[in-house]
Structure 1
Amino acid sequence: MVRKDTMNTLPTELLLHILSHLDVPPPSVTRFSHEPSILLTKAKSTPLKSLRLTSHRFHALATPILFRYCVLSLDHAPLLLPVDARTLDAMQAALETLSPHELGIYTRMRAKLDATQPGAYREDFDTVMLEFVDVKPGDKWMEQSGRTSWVPRLPPHFREMATFLGEHNLRHKVNGLVVVAQRDYEPDFGYSTTTVDGPMYTYHAVQDLWNSVFTLLDPERVVVAAPPGTLATLTETSTLSSDGWAFEMLCHYLELRQDRPRRSEREWKAEELGFQGSKGYVLGAGPVIGDRRGLLIYARPWTHIGYNEGNSLPVYSTYEYHLKQTPKVLYLVLARLGKEARCYVRSLTFVAVFPFSSHMRTMLRSMGKVPTLKNLRVQLAPGKENNVLTDKVRMRKAQRGDLWMELDGCYSKLAEFLWSLEDGGHVQS
């Protein structure tokens, strides 16, 4: 008869070896080349997580293994409202229906407006923003104003995550981080912003986000899964396209990897003490304005970039599809890195399903500006897991002849690109 506590009598080294067989690669690795989805980190089977719940000993042994890969979902609920004189006038007309939070904002902003110069009541001052305010649950007037905008920010539980990793000495164990954003960033800051600049506000919010993340962690691999507009915001770039609606790309993937040795927990603690002692830096409190470390692509010496822009099939069903512009986040990222005096990127993976040949030419042009690039891997057709060509609903009015014509054009552009390389390269497709 086998005793129930037989497993607990085994030495730790043997148990760790057993656990290693349950440690399967994360979905962010195995499904990175699949059609992008916000559900990238969802796994069908989690044997190690299940075993971790069976006893205190397995919990202690499995925790460092599980936390090698972490997921950080950005806060998708809070909205921001730009407040100006016209906003206050509209709120004044609805004072009886305002929530306590909205009423407090109105009182504070009205006092701030009254304290401005006498010229504050000029007509050209009406759309000068006084401040951005958070929309709280129950703020129905603000939610229905039509002027709210979402800005990427860390979730409320980020501090709890930081405390947990620190108390259990897990910060140096984190090898991979996936940042997920569900909402698409569509700024509504298109009018005069001489007092408070909407894009600048977003810039500081994103800089604070990445400063907080990389002060806490030093992962070898970072993946961002987000809609194209949000991904552009998180990388301080743009989509360079107003045709995103035609492509129906709900999510793009950006992968960044570094090869240098990672720091030990002792080095982490020394650095944290250095931050607190020399700069008074408090985790998550905010960045030093103008610090380039607050930008994702400069946060670490990334040696590999992976990008999956998904399926372009929906656009083939639109009128004059060939005139539509694909979102070009990767193009701008590579263009920026290519201008750096020290560029570390040696390998690049580009995944796109039936992209335009003109888009491929543009992407290859940006790749050619990265002087350190030695290895290029591309995938331009659906993989075995993707049945899009046999799905009549997804094919809609798209003509297969158009798909193969564009695909042939992409490979022709790729061949021309390789032929033009002076140092050669290694391409997988």
Structure 2
Amino acid sequence: MSAFSPVELLPNELWDEIIGYLFTEPPSSKRLHHAPSLQLTESPTKDLKHLAQCSSGFLRLVRPQLFTHVRLNLHDEPDFHSFMTKSGLARHITSIIIAVGEDSPDHRADPFWWRRVLGYLDPAHIMVLAPPTFIGETIGSPIMDGHSWAFDIPLQILYMERECRFDGSSKLPDLASCTSLLRARPWTSVTFNESSSLKAYNHYEYFLSCVPSILREWGMMRGEGRNMPLQRPRDLPLLLHGLSTFSYTAVFPFYNHVQIVLDAVLRMGSLRRLDVQLAPDRNNHVTEIEQRGSMDANDPWMELATSYSLIGFTVSQMDSLKEFRSGDLHVEAVRDDLLANLNDVIGDAAWVHDGRGIWKRN
């Protein structure tokens, strides 16, 4: 008598088709522009896990898909490495999330953790969900955090992608000589979610405060008219020049900080697409919460309006740029003003707006 049920005896080709319908994208990919949270990876959909629990046969079929996207706690990395080696699943992993909370045992982890992990994994996508200082140390750009108390930013998101993975004949970079995760793979797309600056608006002369952010370090590199020493990593200008897509999300950053971010964007000489979102997403009520303090409710919106003037000017100056996207047109109260602001600068014959926040160069 067969130990398998009739459904388990279906050809593997049919099961691949069935599993394909159950497979879903990781929840984190749809929440990159939401408020950074350790719950970013939680999903109510667990169809593949439930199927894998039905029998050992189903587990064998489903396991590669279950490990396509993984979240790794760094203190568990030795056990994870052992499991990957024994199971042969490392080649199936296409994305990995390193999630580190301020109270996590990973908070003081080795900033070169990626040398170990990328020694046996070759993901096309890496997300670091962690405090600003941890992100800075990971990419070799230690940040100035002297004003962190004013912003109270527990987590930020750094998400990096590349167009293709290395095949078996390709040689991986020498990780021992790499001093930054940026250099460990040829990343072509970077998304940075800086979190909210709203708490700082409650302080006198808030605009003098410096948000703890790697983008401040990138934008303050030595350049024309600047006397700042070159920030680490040393080959940062070359790494930025290799990016084709950059996405910046922040909740009401100060316009002077946005100018520094744009200074970094201008160094991305091969950039073809720029995405920006400076207002809270539809489900974020942080503005109402912070207005209970001493903040002038008009200040954040004034900073946003000025920021978009600077953004429009920068977009018009970048010859390589083919597409610009604004994620803020869902805010009806400022939609018309933002459109007018941007169209005044980039609304010429060279750019076409589709009415949904996307401008494309003709």
What is the alpha-carbon distance in structure 1 between the residues aligned to residue 210 and residue 304 of structure 2?
Answer: 16
Using a 3 Å threshold, how does the CA distance of structure 1 residues 233 and 415 change in structure 2: closer, same or farther? same
Using a 3 Å threshold, how does the CA distance of structure 1 residues 73 and 395 change in structure 2: closer, same or farther? farther
1:20-35 matched pairs, under 5 angstroms: 20-35=20-35
What is the alpha-carbon distance in structure 2 between the residues aligned to residue 331 and residue 184 of structure 1?
Answer: 25
Residue 273 of structure 2 aligns with an amino acid whose one-letter code is N
Residue 231 of structure 1 aligns with an amino acid whose one-letter code is I
SS for the counterpart of 1:382 is coil
What is the alpha-carbon distance in structure 1 between the residues aligned to residue 88 and residue 249 of structure 2?
Answer: 36
Tell me the CA shift for residue 240 of structure 1. 2.4
Are residues 1:377 and 2:292 paired? Answer: no
**Pick from 181, 186, 190: which aligns with 1:305?**
190
Residue 167 of structure 1 corresponds to 86
Gaps of 5+ in 2: 222-232, 327-362
1:259-297, Cα deviation, whole Å (9 max, x unpaired): 134325xx69xx79xx9xxxxxxxxxxx74xx12x5211
**Pick from 319, 326, 338: which aligns with 2:204?**
319
Are residues 1:44 and 2:44 paired? Answer: yes
What is the alpha-carbon distance in structure 2 between the residues aligned to residue 392 and residue 231 of structure 1?
Answer: 27
Using a 3 Å threshold, how does the CA distance of structure 1 residues 251 and 299 change in structure 2: closer, same or farther? same
Q: Percent identity?
A: 27
Using a 3 Å threshold, how does the CA distance of structure 1 residues 338 and 422 change in structure 2: closer, same or farther? farther
Are residues 1:242 and 2:161 paired? Answer: no
Residue 131 of structure 2 corresponds to 227
1:1-39, Cα deviation, whole Å (9 max, x unpaired): xxx934213222212211222211112211111001123
Residue 111 of structure 2 corresponds to 206
SS for the counterpart of 1:410 is helix
What is the alpha-carbon distance in structure 1 between the residues aligned to residue 103 and residue 195 of structure 2?
Answer: 16
What is the alpha-carbon distance in structure 1 between the residues aligned to residue 131 and residue 111 of structure 2?
Answer: 15
What is the alpha-carbon distance in structure 2 between the residues aligned to residue 309 and residue 422 of structure 1?
Answer: 26
What is the alpha-carbon distance in structure 1 between the residues aligned to residue 160 and residue 146 of structure 2?
Answer: 26
1:277-316 matched pairs, under 5 angstroms: 288=176, 291-292=177-178, 294-316=179-201
What is the alpha-carbon distance in structure 2 between the residues aligned to residue 420 and residue 411 of structure 1?
Answer: 14
What is the alpha-carbon distance in structure 1 between the residues aligned to residue 183 and residue 245 of structure 2?
Answer: 17
Residue 71 of structure 1 corresponds to 71
Conservation of the 8 A alpha-carbon contact between 2:96 and 2:126: yes
Tell me the CA shift for residue 422 of structure 1. 3.1
1:26-425 matched pairs, under 5 angstroms: 26-74=26-74, 155=75, 157-183=76-102, 205-207=110-112, 209-264=113-168, 288=176, 291-292=177-178, 294-333=179-218, 339-340=237-238, 343-389=241-287, 391-392=288-289, 395-425=292-322
Using a 3 Å threshold, how does the CA distance of structure 1 residues 20 and 341 change in structure 2: closer, same or farther? closer
What is the alpha-carbon distance in structure 2 between the residues aligned to residue 322 and residue 341 of structure 1?
Answer: 30
The number of residue pairs the alignment matches comes to: 306
1:394-422, Cα deviation, whole Å (9 max, x unpaired): 65332321111011011011011112223
Conservation of the 8 A alpha-carbon contact between 2:188 and 2:243: yes
Tell which structure's C-alpha radius of gyration is larger: 1
1:118-162, Cα deviation, whole Å (9 max, x unpaired): xxxxxxxxxxxxxxxxxxxxxxxxxxxxxxxxxxxxx1x323222
SS for the counterpart of 2:111 is helix
Higher RCO (C-alpha under 8 Å, 6+ residues apart):
1
Conservation of the 8 A alpha-carbon contact between 1:388 and 1:395: no
Gaps of 5+ in 1: 75-154, 186-201, 276-286
Tell me the CA shift for residue 393 of structure 1. 5.8
Conservation of the 8 A alpha-carbon contact between 1:418 and 1:425: no
Moved more, 393-402 or 8-17: 393-402
Using a 3 Å threshold, how does the CA distance of structure 1 residues 315 and 183 change in structure 2: closer, same or farther? same
Using a 3 Å threshold, how does the CA distance of structure 1 residues 342 and 225 change in structure 2: closer, same or farther? closer
Tell me the CA shift for residue 388 of structure 1. 2.4
What is the alpha-carbon distance in structure 1 between the residues aligned to residue 311 and residue 240 of structure 2?
Answer: 26
Conservation of the 8 A alpha-carbon contact between 1:343 and 1:372: yes
Tell me the CA shift for residue 220 of structure 1. 0.1
Tell me the CA shift for residue 184 of structure 1. 7.4
TM-score, with length taken from structure 2: 0.78
Moved more, 235-244 or 329-338: 329-338
Using a 3 Å threshold, how does the CA distance of structure 1 residues 65 and 394 change in structure 2: closer, same or farther? farther
What is the alpha-carbon distance in structure 2 between the residues aligned to residue 339 and residue 373 of structure 1?
Answer: 13
What is the alpha-carbon distance in structure 1 between the residues aligned to residue 90 and residue 70 of structure 2?
Answer: 11
Using a 3 Å threshold, how does the CA distance of structure 1 residues 221 and 7 change in structure 2: closer, same or farther? same
Using a 3 Å threshold, how does the CA distance of structure 1 residues 184 and 60 change in structure 2: closer, same or farther? same
